């Protein structure tokens, strides 16, 4: 263990030294699936929240003092607001009269229609009080953003996504307390080209109102998100689209980039935080937060400092800071509560966890019609990793580990009674892959994932000598089926069966086998950027391998 910590310290010191010397960082700034990020600065501290989709708790919260190194502190909601059902998307921070507001998208329990709710707290890490829906419009109202102009609050949103008419970005004045609409909605932009239009950031600068928004497809392997901009001299428009749109789009090193918000540094520089996929196996980490600086050009249009082609390598926002590596996750269950990195499959199972005497007890009651169990999972932060745990009890429920897509699509390896079983569930149909006598109690289990999808399973009596569980192999197409359109599959712990017969775990370790922290960048192309003559030299930190 001492050797591991020594290597980690040395690697971190090396990365710190190089970053301080060159003053660059590598995107993403948060590793793992955190789509539709919203960012806010309060004094010297920055806060991020983002989509949690079909995972609980709802809307993860991260903090930073340098925009590059982030730590998860909790969630906006530990429990669902009473009016909500699912699809927790695109939250948006706003500070107003000493309070912090979060405007968020969710489906209503009553009719399954997506609308925008609002909740208020004293700080981004405080306890939020929900005030229910604020925007209910047609079959879908999503992607809220707030603008204050001349002392009045305005909310904008995407409308008509599921109605039989072109998508629009609509807006409406809010009441002074920010909790209700005040007046009639009006149109900001209309998607007449049928390219898609959402994830807008609306701001005023130098006599213009600007809307930075996302176009094309947001999610999945074929998505091609990009960022465009429009402006107007008047708040209500009409808005003129920039002739050089999109102002930011993908490249060979970044896929499908968009849906973000702008924050400022204390000295007034603007940074756009959005999400993007990585190409290749990095795709299976999901939509990760990317940070890029924005400046206003002499043409009075915003431009990205490193050009229109998204780049992973970016100048550090603060020269005195350095990017630190992503460390492994481990939980020995000695804390009073679950760590904030854990998430569970709330739409399908009422999950119950209890931490006692350094052990985690996991069980769940499936929702009506659901045939699978409770999944307590982690966001993968690398395409190659190992998940390891020890099961310390025996009963007739399923106790094990999983690669989880949803209730109908998952792989799980676990013990049931006196058997150790590996199975695959595709579109609700169960496919046994291996079945052997239970070799040990306590039972150590391992899942090794490579390239984001391929998984191999192992058991051990002592956590030292590992034995592969040989079973029917899955094709790449079958393993990719675990990915849902708006989220990535997650590794974790799994219990299925009698909710009074829990699975009990001694620890959990998620070890990244390939850190993916270093990157040899493509030459940045400063096309259509006012900063094309920037002479900064990009650097490469070669891959650091950890023991």
Question: Is residue 2's pLDDT more than 60?
Answer: no
- As a whole number, mean pLDDT of residues 482-491 equals 87
Q: At residue 64, what are phi and psi to the nearest 5 degrees?
A: -155, 155
Q: Say which range, 13-27, 304-318, 373-387, has the weakest mean pLDDT.
A: 13-27
Tell me the pLDDT tens digit for each residue of 435-467: 999 998 899 999 999 999 899 999 999 999 999
Distances (CA, A) of 546 to 326, 390, 447, 511, 514: 11, 23, 18, 10, 8
Query: What does pLDDT average to over the chain?
Result: 90
DSSP 174: B
Instruction: Please give the pLDDT value at position 196.
Output: 93
- As a whole number, mean pLDDT of residues 417-434 equals 94
Question: Is residue 390's pLDDT more than 70?
Answer: yes
Return the structure tokens found at 208: 């213009």
Instruction: Please give the pLDDT value at position 441.
Output: 87
Instruction: Please give the pLDDT value at position 117.
Output: 98
Q: Say which range, 241-250, 263-272, 319-328, 534-543, has the weakest mean pLDDT.
A: 534-543
- Residue 22: pLDDT band (50, 70, 90) is low
Instruction: Please give the pLDDT value at position 193.
Output: 87
Q: Higher pLDDT residue, 7 or 540?
A: 7
Are 283 and 264 in contact, with CB atoms under 8 Å apart? no
Q: Please state the pTM of the whole predicted model.
A: 0.90
- As a whole number, mean pLDDT of residues 397-411 equals 96
DSSP 30: S
Return the structure tokens found at 7: 């290597």
Q: Which residues contact 246 (CB under 8 A, 6 or more apart)?
A: 215, 226, 227, 228, 308
Are 218 and 259 in contact, with CB atoms under 8 Å apart? yes
Report the candidate in 97, 150, 141 with the shortest Cα–Cα distance to residue 115.
141
- As a whole number, mean pLDDT of residues 118-145 equals 97
Q: In what order do the strands lie in the sheet with 490-496?
A: 343-344, 374-377, 490-496, 398-406, 409-416, 419-426, 429-437
Q: Are strands 248-249 and 226-232 parallel, antiparallel or unpaired?
A: antiparallel
Return the structure tokens found at 72: 């998860």
Q: Which residues contact 155 (CB under 8 A, 6 or more apart)?
A: 103, 116, 134, 135, 144, 145, 146, 171, 172, 174, 181
- Residue 298: pLDDT band (50, 70, 90) is very high
Are 2 and 239 in contact, with CB atoms under 8 Å apart? no
- As a whole number, mean pLDDT of residues 51-75 equals 98
Q: Higher pLDDT residue, 80 or 482?
A: 80
Question: Is residue 412's pLDDT more than 50?
Answer: yes
Instruction: Please give the pLDDT value at position 524.
Output: 32
Helix (H) or strand (E) holding 432: strand 429-437
pLDDT above 90 as % of the chain: 83
Return the structure tokens found at 336: 């009073």
Which residues sit opposite 505 in a β-bridge? 360, 391
The number of angstroms, rounded, from the C-alpha of 236 to the middle of its chain's C-alpha atoms is 32
The number of angstroms, rounded, from the C-alpha of 27 to the middle of its chain's C-alpha atoms is 14
Euclidean distance between CA atoms 204 and 185, whole angstroms: 19
pLDDT above 70 as % of the chain: 90
Question: Is residue 212's pLDDT more than 80?
Answer: yes
Tell me the pLDDT tens digit for each residue of 26-37: 999 999 999 999
Question: Is residue 20's pLDDT more than 80?
Answer: no
Instruction: Please give the pLDDT value at position 542.
Output: 27
DSSP 484: B
Instruction: Please give the pLDDT value at position 472.
Output: 76
Euclidean distance between CA atoms 62 and 47, whole angstroms: 6
Are 351 and 376 in contact, with CB atoms under 8 Å apart? yes
Instruction: Please give the pLDDT value at position 27.
Output: 98
Instruction: Please give the pLDDT value at position 535.
Output: 25
Burial 442-468 (b: 16+ CB within 10 A, else e): bbbbbbbbeebbbbbbbbbeebeebee
Tell me the pLDDT tens digit for each residue of 110-124: 999 999 999 999 999
Place of tokens 């052990």: 359
Question: Is residue 163's pLDDT more than 80?
Answer: yes
- As a whole number, mean pLDDT of residues 367-389 equals 97
Tell me the pLDDT tens digit for each residue of 506-545: 999 999 986 444 433 333 333 333 333 332 222 222 223 2
Size (the chain), residues: 547
Question: Is residue 353's pLDDT more than 80?
Answer: yes
Q: What's the CA angle centered on 168, arms 76 and 254, to 5 degrees?
A: 65
Helix (H) or strand (E) holding 493: strand 490-496
Instruction: Please give the pLDDT value at position 152.
Output: 98
Question: Is residue 386's pLDDT more than 90?
Answer: yes
Instruction: Please give the pLDDT value at position 516.
Output: 46
Instruction: Please give the pLDDT value at position 538.
Output: 28
Euclidean distance between CA atoms 278 and 210, whole angstroms: 28
- Residue 179: pLDDT band (50, 70, 90) is very high
Q: Higher pLDDT residue, 523 or 373?
A: 373
Are 516 and 497 in contact, with CB atoms under 8 Å apart? no
Question: Is residue 248's pLDDT more than 60?
Answer: yes
Instruction: Please give the pLDDT value at position 478.
Output: 76
Instruction: Please give the pLDDT value at position 440.
Output: 86
Q: Is 268 exposed, middle or buried (0-12, 13-18, 19+ CB in 10 A)?
A: exposed
Q: At residue 286, what are phi and psi to the nearest 5 degrees?
A: 90, -165
Q: At residue 312, what are phi and psi to the nearest 5 degrees?
A: -75, -30
- The count of C-alpha atoms lying within 13 angstroms of the C-alpha of 198, restricted to the half-sphere facing its C-beta, is 26
- As a whole number, mean pLDDT of residues 96-103 equals 97
Are 135 and 155 in contact, with CB atoms under 8 Å apart? yes
Report the candidate in 410, 467, 408 with the shortest Cα–Cα distance to residue 437.
467
Instruction: Please give the pLDDT value at position 15.
Output: 47
Are 316 and 25 in contact, with CB atoms under 8 Å apart? yes
């Amino acid at each position: 263990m001492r050797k591991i910590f020594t290597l980690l310290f040395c690697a971190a010191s090396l990365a710190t030294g190089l970053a301080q010397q060159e003053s660059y960082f590598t995107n993403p700034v948060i590793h793992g699936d955190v789509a539709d990020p919203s960012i806010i600065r309060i004094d010297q501290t920055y806060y991020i929240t983002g989509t949690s989709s079909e995972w609980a708790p709802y809307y993860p919260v991260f903090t930073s003092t340098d925009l590059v190194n982030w730590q998860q502190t909790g969630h906006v909601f530990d429990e669902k607001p009473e009016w909500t059902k699912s699809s927790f998307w695109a939250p948006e921070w706003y500070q107003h009269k000493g309070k912090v507001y979060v405007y968020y998208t969710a489906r209503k329990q009553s009719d399954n229609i997506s609308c925008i709710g609002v909740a208020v707290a004293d700080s981004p890490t405080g306890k939020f009080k929900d005030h229910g829906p604020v925007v209910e419009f047609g079959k879908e109202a999503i992607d809220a953003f707030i603008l204050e102009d001349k002392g009045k609050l305005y909310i904008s949103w995407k409308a008509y996504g599921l109605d039989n008419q072109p998508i629009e970005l609509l807006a409406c004045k809010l009441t002074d307390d920010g909790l209700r609409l005040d007046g009639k909605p009006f149109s900001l932009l209309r998607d007449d080209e049928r390219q898609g239009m959402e994830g807008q950031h609306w701001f005023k600068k130098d006599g213009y109102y600007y809307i930075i928004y996302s176009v094309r497809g947001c999610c999945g392997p074929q998505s091609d998100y990009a960022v465009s901009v429009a402006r107007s001299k008047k708040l209500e428009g009409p808005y003129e689209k920039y002739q050089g749109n999109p102002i930011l789009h993908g490249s060979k090193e970044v896929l499908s980039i968009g849906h973000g918000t702008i924050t400022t540094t204390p000295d007034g520089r603007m940074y756009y935080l959005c999400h993007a996929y990585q190409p290749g196996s990095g795709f299976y980490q999901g939509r990760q937060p990317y940070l890029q600086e924005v400046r206003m050009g002499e043409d009075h249009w915003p431009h990205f400092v490193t050009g229109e082609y998204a780049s992973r390598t970016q100048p550090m926002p603060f020269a005195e800071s350095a990017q630190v590596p992503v460390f492994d996750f481990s939980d020995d269950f000695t804390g009073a509560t679950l760590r904030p990195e854990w998430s569970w499959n709330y739409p399908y199972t009422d999950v119950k966890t209890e931490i006692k005497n350094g052990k985690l007890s996991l069980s769940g009651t499936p929702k009506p019609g659901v045939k699978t169990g409770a999944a307590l999972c982690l966001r993968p932060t690398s395409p190659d990793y190992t998940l390891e745990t020890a099961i310390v009890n025996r009963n007739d429920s399923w106790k094990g580990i999983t690669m989880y897509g949803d209730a109908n699509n998952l792989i799980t390896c676990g013990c049931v009674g006196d058997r150790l079983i590996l199975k695959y569930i595709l579109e609700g149909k169960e496919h046994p892959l291996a079945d052997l006598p239970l070799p040990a109690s306590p039972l150590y289990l391992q899942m090794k994932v490579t390239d984001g999808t391929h998984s191999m399973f192992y058991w051990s009596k002592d956590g030292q000598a590992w034995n592969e569980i040989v079973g029917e192999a899955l094709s790449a197409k079958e393993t990719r089926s675990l990915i849902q359109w708006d989220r990535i599959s997650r590794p974790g712990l799994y219990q299925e069966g009698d909710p009074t017969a829990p699975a009990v775990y001694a620890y959990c370790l998620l070890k990244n086998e390939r850190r993916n922290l270093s990157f040899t960048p493509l030459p940045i192309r400063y096309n259509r950027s006012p900063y094309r003559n920037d002479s900064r030299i990009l650097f490469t930190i070669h891959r650091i391998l950890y023991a």
